[in-house]
């Protein structure tokens, strides 16, 4: 396929076209051979991009503190991977949930993005975390018990807790409240309850 999954514009145009076709012609579903072939091609092209376009450098903390170039490169790679992640999730309700969760969460978020977030640490983490969680399809957050986040988000929840501890030490209440809102928004109520009690924060409604 000519389409480049890393391109925000190309991905938006392709996903918008496909969503429009599906809405207009309900018979366009995976039972159609041509549709199934197209969706398989999209999935395969995303896999190629995951293999060829993803890279996350790992720097020691002392190097990140000393080197502007290292910090800038790390941050560029984090955002590059987050952009690809956001692009992949535009195919929600086109690709199957199981396929999409594997591509976006298992193969990209937990394999690459989390490494970058952990390496970069708490500084500026809220903006990056929100970029990840805001892209999640809303129906993924409606878990059967309504109390726990998706299992694939557990690493992210633990990272949020570590950032919360750092913000508490620096007395950054605004960032703490922002992290708590994120946990509530992804239905990670066990982590949100811990954070509310640990740092005396009011649970957002």
- What are the pLDDT digits (tens) for 94-108? 999 999 999 999 999
Cα 67 to Cα 60: distance, rounded to the nearest angstrom:
11
Cα 131 to Cα 139: distance, rounded to the nearest angstrom:
17
Distances, alpha carbon 99 to alpha carbons 18, 52, 113, 169, in Å: 17, 19, 18, 40
Q: Please give the pLDDT value at position 26.
A: 78
CB atoms within 10 A of CB 148: 17
> Residue 28: is its pLDDT beyond 80?
no
- What are the pLDDT digits (tens) for 132-180? 999 999 999 876 655 678 999 999 999 999 999 999 999 999 999 999 9
- Residue that the structure tokens 């750092």 belong to: 166
pLDDT (average), residues 50-73: 93
**Bridge partner residues of 92 (DSSP):** 95
Contacts of 44 (CB under 8 A, 6+ apart): none
Q: Please give the pLDDT value at position 72.
A: 95
Q: Please give the pLDDT value at position 22.
A: 86
Cα 85 to Cα 87: distance, rounded to the nearest angstrom:
5
Cα 156 to Cα 152: distance, rounded to the nearest angstrom:
8
Strand, helix or coil for residue 92: strand
Domain boundaries, the chain: 1-120, 128-205
């Amino acid at each position: 396929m000519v389409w480049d999954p890393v391109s925000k514009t190309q991905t938006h145009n392709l996903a918008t076209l496909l969503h429009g076709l599906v809405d207009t012609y309900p018979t366009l579903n995976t039972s159609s051979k041509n549709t199934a072939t197209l969706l398989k091609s999209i999935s395969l092209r995303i896999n190629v991009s995951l293999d060829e376009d993803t890279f996350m450098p790992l720097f020691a903390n002392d190097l990140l503190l000393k080197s502007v170039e290292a910090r800038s490169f790390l941050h560029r790679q984090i955002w590059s991977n987050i952009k690809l992640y956001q692009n992949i999730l535009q195919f929600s309700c086109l690709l199957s949930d199981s396929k999409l969760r594997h591509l976006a969460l298992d193969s990209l978020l937990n394999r690459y993005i989390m490494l970058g977030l952990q390496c970069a640490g708490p500084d500026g983490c809220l903006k990056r975390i929100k970029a990840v969680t805001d892209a999640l399809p809303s129906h993924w957050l409606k878990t059967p018990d309504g109390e726990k986040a998706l299992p694939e988000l557990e690493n992210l929840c633990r990272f949020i807790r570590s950032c919360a501890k750092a913000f508490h030490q620096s007395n950054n209440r605004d960032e703490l409240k922002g992290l708590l809102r994120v946990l509530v928004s992804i239905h990670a109520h066990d982590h949100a309850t811990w954070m509310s009690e640990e740092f005396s924060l009011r649970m957002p409604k």
